[in-house]
Amino acid sequence: MIKIQVPATSANLGAGFDALGLALGFYNYVEMEESDRVDISSADDMVIPTDEKNLIYVSAKDLFDICGKKLNGLKIVQKNNVPMARGLGSSSACIVAGLAGANHILGNPLTQDDLVDLAAQIEGHPDNTAPALLGGIVTAVFDGRKVHWVKQEVYTKLKFVAIIPDFELKTEKARECIPKEVSHKDAVYNLSRAALFSASLLTGKFENLRTAVHDKLHQPYRMELIPHCREVFDIAYTHGAYGAYISGAGPTIMAIVDEENTYFAGKMRFSLENAGIKHWQVHEFMIDNDGTKIIEK
């Protein structure tokens, strides 16, 4: 039996739609071993598929198939800390866990690059799967077959504060609201801000982040699917956030905050409650620079 630790992720980071993502110090855990049957269970109260449609199992079987190995079954025990359909990479965490676990069981026949490519092919884009595997902040381009990526480890005095509502937003619905075409002006707007985000984060020019997270490709449309979204942005900036953006497809809103802003999370909780925005959770995370880890039991 092996244990796999996979970080939550936050994708897009404002203007970097389907290209930028980072790993957070918040983890799912999966125990896995070969078996003569499919035996899947949850170690918490999360309802999950317990048959061959389970995404961890599907991903593991894909890797076995690629390597020409027969898979009779797996015993899988999931501990699902990352909430589902909240924009924190829950599906990517399952895909990555299945691939990393299966690869380890088979003696690591696939390279790290192979795993990054395969995870993106399963998910359809690399902005969550790549940082889940690699850690840090990852810039990635997926050409349909291969992911061209750069990982940068981030050691900054920043916290990433997830403001998580009590409702789900499926990625499919969040993608349906995005226009098929954009103007040249809007494309330039996003390109410049995505570049500014990475450069500012890594060089410590945090005052640029409020401008860098602005976006015209997806956030204005997804905001309409997230009640109180603009209000939560305003509250975060009132309490000193450097930047705020919709994490992944949403509905979680991520605030980027200086670590010396000690009471930001408490102020957010109080202000949300005071504004009648009830039952939203506020959690502070640091960036995870290591990505997925295999822990031998």
Distance CA 195, CA 129 (A): 21
The distance of Cα 195 from the centroid of its chain, to the nearest Å, equals: 20
44 burial via Cβ count (<10 Å: 0-12, 13-18, 19+): exposed
Choosing from 123, 129, 139, 252, the catalytic residue is 123
Choosing from 9, 129, 139, 171, the catalytic residue is 171
Residues listed for the chain:
297
DSSP labels, 14-26: TT-TTTEEEEEEE
156 is known as an active-site residue = no
Question: Between vectors from CA 74 to CA 72 and to CA 77, what angle results, nearest 5°?
Answer: 165
171 is known as an active-site residue = yes
Contact 128, 88 (CB under 8 A): no
Backbone angles phi, psi at 116, to 5 degrees: -60, -45
For residue 206, give the DSSP letter.
G
Distance CA 92, CA 82 (A): 11
276 burial via Cβ count (<10 Å: 0-12, 13-18, 19+): exposed
Active site residues: 123, 171
